[in-house]
A and B are shown apart, each in its own frame.
Chain A
Amino acid sequence: MATGSQPPEAHPLAPASYRVRARRRETRDTVTLELRAPGGAAAPSWRPGQFNMLGLPGVGEVPISISGGSQDGRLLQHTIRAVGPVTSALAGLRPGGRVGLRGPFGSAWPLEQAAGRDLLVLAGGLGLVPLRPVLRAVAARRRLYGRVSLLYGARAPQDILFRGELAAWRRAGVAVEVAVDRAQPSWRGRVGVVTDLLAGVAPEPGRTDAWICGPEIMMRFSVRELQRLGLDRGGMRLHLSLERNMKCAIGQCGHCQLGPFFICKDGPVFPYDRIAPWLAVEEL
């Protein structure tokens, strides 16, 4: 994975034409596309938590988190769930197909700040996507961190993303726990919500960085549960990734405004303290 946060070289509103090199089906409605930069050049460097705008001419353009990349920085991975016209068209692309890409945009997870501390990652559904590069980075340099846990909630066993990697992270010393909302009796894992899994972790507020990404309601419940465990007393450092819809991605159109912030520019990753007053408000 490339590091650093230089802005993309091209004008931020002008997409570059990337080619689909591989396509992998993750679940019924979700695929991972591996994209290659034009002319085999290196893609702009990016940090875990950032996103790109992916577009198709005549269809539209949407923000999609960066879910991974190759060591040499030539390939970018995006994991896309088909929910509407643009994401369905993107998810339907085949190797050789082309996609317009602008980015990377937005803030990143504060990986450097977490070194030497415990890291508690809570992911819900597709919220695992922007956290996947975090877990890859942490698994590769596991010794830099204290206890590392991933608590991941999914709808049903067949919706669990990156199964192979979950196992690899476990082998690398990450405590990976998965809970699904519903399951057939043949399922041998956990049934319940992601916050149930906190009982087995017992995070120590004073030395924990907690990062959450998932549907907003899942994040609210998670924050509440972390508060119950002493988050506000012990100095636990909490970050959330807010993925409300956006258009321009550079803080111009106001589509993704949250209180005084633009999610595309100031986020999507925010320290909880900064956005707490706006999070609790309904229908922002």
Chain B
Amino acid sequence: MKKDLETMLAGHPFCKDFKREQLRQLAGCAANARYETGRFLLRQGGGATRFFLIRRGLVRVELFMPGRGPVLIQTLGPGEALGWSWLVEPYRWAFSARAAEPTLALAFDGACLRRKLDRDSELGYRILKRFIAVLAARLDATRLQLMDIYGDRVPAA
């Protein structure tokens, strides 16, 4: 079972180039998770105890606005990582995320992982570096979306 998790982790882009021992450490805090369409992976305001590596399916990240209901911010698919609030105090989700189609993910126990990262600074550095890359890509993407690059003022390719 643990072996399977390690294999799955090794095949996920987030863990590209991780050492065997590091994969084993990660697998120790991971579990397989499956979400049917419409089920929440995490909910705005709730305690951020986990993060997810998506293997299959599609997840909608939504922000609930009073009077407007859920606003669709972005979607995440296979090969992507979901959730970093488990790394940042006060460890609360700022958004909700739910499956837009049947979704398979590796779910990590944040507290378990934080303990390991505190103990093993090499692993901690790797993981943080990966999260920085995820955050940087997300920030770039958000900027591009805000720039409205396909909008009226930029006509053709």
Interface residues of chain A, those whose CB is within 8 Å of chain B, are 29, 65, 81, 83-84, 87, 124-127, 129-130, 153-155, 159, 179, 181-185, 187-193, 195-197, 199-200, 202, 213-215, 217-218, 221, 225, 241, 243
Can you list 30 A-B pairs, Cβ within 8 angstroms, ordered by A?
A29-B152, A83-B152, A83-B155, A83-B156, A124-B149, A125-B154, A125-B156, A125-B157, A126-B150, A127-B156, A129-B156, A155-B150, A155-B151, A181-B148, A181-B150, A184-B72, A185-B71, A191-B60, A191-B75, A192-B145, A193-B141, A193-B145, A196-B77, A196-B141, A199-B79, A199-B80, A214-B149, A215-B154, A217-B149, A218-B144
> How many angstroms from the CA of A215 to the CA of B151 in the assembled complex?
10
Given contacts A199-B78, A200-B77, A202-B13, contact A126 B156 (CB under 8 A): yes
> How many angstroms from the CA of A126 to the CA of B150 in the assembled complex?
8
Number of A-B residue pairs, CB cutoff 8 Å, is: 105
Report if B1 contacts A (CB, 8 A): no
Report if B67 contacts A (CB, 8 A): no
Q: Is the CB of A191 within 8 A of B157?
A: no
Q: Is the CB of B74 within 8 A of A192?
A: yes
Q: Which of B75, B77, B140, B149 contacts A125 (CB 8 A)?
A: B149
Q: Is the CB of B155 within 8 A of A185?
A: no
> How many angstroms from the CA of A81 to the CA of B145 in the assembled complex?
20
Q: Which of A129, A185, A187, A192 contacts B69 (CB 8 A)?
A: A185
Query: Using an 8 Å CB-CB cutoff, how does the interface string of B78-89 with A read, 1 for contact, 0 for none?
Result: 111000000000
Interface residues of chain B, those whose CB is within 8 Å of chain A, are 13, 58, 60, 62, 69-80, 100, 137, 140-141, 144-145, 147-152, 154-157
> How many angstroms from the CA of A197 to the CA of B141 in the assembled complex?
11
Q: Is the CB of B157 within 8 A of A183?
A: no
Q: Is the CB of B150 within 8 A of A153?
A: yes
Q: Is the CB of B80 within 8 A of A196?
A: yes
Name A124's closest neighbour in chain B (CB-CB). B150
Q: Is the CB of B157 within 8 A of A192?
A: no
> How many angstroms from the CA of A228 to the CA of B79 in the assembled complex?
15
Which residues of chain A are within 8 angstroms of B79 by Cβ–Cβ distance?
199-200, 202
Q: Is the CB of B100 within 8 A of A215?
A: no
Q: Is the CB of A81 within 8 A of B156?
A: yes
